[in-house]
Amino acid sequence: MSDDIKVDKSLDLKGLACPMPVVKVSKGIKEVEIGQVIAAVTTDPGSLTDFPAWAKTSGNEILKSEQDGNEITFYIQRKS
């Protein structure tokens, strides 16, 4: 967990393969209000490029991403 970002919802996407991480994150982001933040944890290396591409297209913002071993955590703010 990051200290400076307030997380409103966590999504465990560990073990999921393409296209499930983006499918689930696009569903998950709709479950928080605009301005709120979700923390999504994946183990799919493809999500390193997929999440930024998804965020750009869907108009949401990745505030921060961090990698711990094979786990990648994205902090995503709902913008639209």
Catalytically annotated residues: 18
d(CA 35, CA 63): 11
Residue whose tokens read 């786990």: 71
Exposed/middle/buried for residue 43 (C-beta within 10 Å: 0-12, 13-18, 19+)? middle
Site string (28-47) toward another protein, x via CB under 8 A: --------------------
Residue 23 makes contact with another protein by CB under 8 A:
yes
Instruction: Give the nearer residue to another protein in terms of CB position, either 15 or 69.
Output: 15
The tokens for 22 are 């983006």
Residue of the chain from 37, 42, 54, 74 that contacts another protein (CB under 8 A): 54
Residues contributing to the site for another protein (CB under 8 A): 15-20, 22-23, 25-26, 54, 57-58
